[in-house]
Structure 1
Amino acid sequence: VGGFECKCPAGFVGPRCEGDINECLSNPCSNPGTQDCVQLVNDYHCNCKPGYMGRHCDAKVNFCANSPCQNGGICSANQGGHVCLCSIGFFGKNCEYSGYACESNPCQNGGYCRTSEIGDYVCDCPSGLSGTNCETDTLNECLRNPCKHPEARCIDKPGDFLCYCPRQWTG
């Protein structure tokens, strides 16, 4: 007597419709491209793995669809993006630079420049050096005490060293 009954809208339960149904429990985000399901109020959201899109992560992203490769470069899509195979005379991620990648001598400290398979450059660094352009000295040559005089001061240089001799000494 005097009671009431609520007719709940879709997605809600309980005597006063206070409970939100967890839509993720029905596993709506089950495609291989799905990372996880996020419960929302009366809804859900599928978080997609890299390379997938759509409400249920069922559409593969075509990273070559907008033709990112310039100057006649050929696009190859992979899971996380794309790679451009550049025409001769072009280089860069999207073949946006003309000339030859090694023309500007980008390798420092005696590094050898060679053109990579995608038309960009790669530096082959001498021992003790690393980095894109061989700019990082990874070995302190002074640690092995290369200076012959005990009072000489050793200065580490990229891939090399200098000895500063005391007065009256040379070498």
Structure 2
Amino acid sequence: KVHAFQCACPSGFEGSSCEINIDDCALAGPNACESYERCLDGVNNFTCACPIGYGGDRCSVEINECDANPCKNGANCTDGPGNYTCTCHLTVIDITSLIGPKGKFYSGYGGQNCDEDINECEVYTDPPICQSNGLCVNHDGGFQCFCPSSVGGSSFSFGALCESSIEYCDRREHQCRNGATCLNTLVGSECKCAPGYKGELCQIDIDECL
């Protein structure tokens, strides 16, 4: 007597003994994964191995990397296929009219994600970002120039980069009183008093009766 049997295969299998896993990728066709990557067969289903920057069941969804806010310190994020680009907000300081083509400096943050402080004091040394031998002090996101009190003996520097200078007398001419004349000196300035007056600013009227 011949005994026969037939297997009722679960979904995803075929063959006389249900030993064959059906290739679901082949059933789905060549565009199973939107042609982005190869199809990975499973049991009664398939998955797509998506390339970087794409997701979804069939890799048809482009991931917006900017949604994760990778760009810091107010930088602009531009999404691309599988990547992103940060455009850093930099402060441009231009004194080319004073010192020539090397007089353009950039201050703020750099790096791929605009999260790296630019040390302007170290980056800009030729010429130095602080003019007139000013002292450069870096801080997070910027810097500060401390200007020397004297440039060449008879003038002082000022401005954000110590890029300007002025004679001491031009600054304090109005302080010399009673017709006095301001004279530049090696250490600053002094007032030359008119007859009958004395004091640092010639502010004292000499009493000739004494």
TM-score of the superposed pair, with normalisation by structure 1: 0.54
Residues 53 and 59 of structure 1 are in contact (CA less than 8 Å); yes or no, is this contact kept in structure 2?
yes
Distance 1:103 1:8 in 2: 75
Q: 1:98 aligns with which of 117, 129, 149?
A: 117
Name which one, 1 or 2, has greater alpha-carbon Rg.
2
Q: 2:34 aligns with which of 31, 35, 54?
A: 31
Question: 1:7 maps to what in 2?
Answer: 8
Distance 1:30 1:94 in 2: 32
Question: 1:161 maps to what in 2?
Answer: none
Q: 1:35 to 1:91 in 2, by over 3 A?
A: same
Distance 1:21 1:35 in 2: 20
Deviates more, 1:83-92 or 1:40-49: 40-49
Question: 1:51 maps to what in 2?
Answer: 53
Distance 1:67 1:46 in 2: 27
Q: 1:52 to 1:18 in 2, by over 3 A?
A: same
Equivalent positions of 1:118-129 (< 5 A) are none
TM-score of the superposed pair, with normalisation by structure 2: 0.45
More helix by share: 2
Distance 2:10 2:122 in 1: 68
Same amino acid, percent of matched pairs = 33
The one-letter code matched in structure 2 to 1:3 is A
Distance 2:21 2:112 in 1: 48
Structure number with higher relative contact order (C-alpha < 8 Å, ≥ 6 residues apart) = 1
Q: 1:103 to 1:53 in 2, by over 3 A?
A: farther
Number of equivalenced pairs: 105
Q: 1:104 to 1:78 in 2, by over 3 A?
A: farther
Residues 38 and 48 of structure 2 are in contact (CA less than 8 Å); yes or no, is this contact kept in structure 1?
yes
Distance 1:91 1:57 in 2: 33
Residues 91 and 99 of structure 1 are in contact (CA less than 8 Å); yes or no, is this contact kept in structure 2?
yes
Distance 2:84 2:78 in 1: 6
The one-letter code matched in structure 2 to 1:91 is G
The one-letter code matched in structure 1 to 2:19 is E
Question: 1:123 maps to what in 2?
Answer: none
When the two chains are superposed, the root-mean-square deviation of aligned CA atoms in Å is 2.4
Q: CA deviation at 1:16?
A: 1.0
Residues 63 and 82 of structure 2 are in contact (CA less than 8 Å); yes or no, is this contact kept in structure 1?
no
Q: CA deviation at 1:76?
A: 0.4
Deviations 1:137-166 (A, max 9, x none): xxxxxxxxxxxxxxxxxxxxxxxxxxxxxx
Distance 1:59 1:80 in 2: 11
Residues 29 and 57 of structure 1 are in contact (CA less than 8 Å); yes or no, is this contact kept in structure 2?
no
Distance 2:33 2:47 in 1: 12
Residues 76 and 86 of structure 2 are in contact (CA less than 8 Å); yes or no, is this contact kept in structure 1?
yes
Q: 1:45 to 1:30 in 2, by over 3 A?
A: closer
Structure 2: unaligned runs, 5 residues or longer: 91-107, 127-210
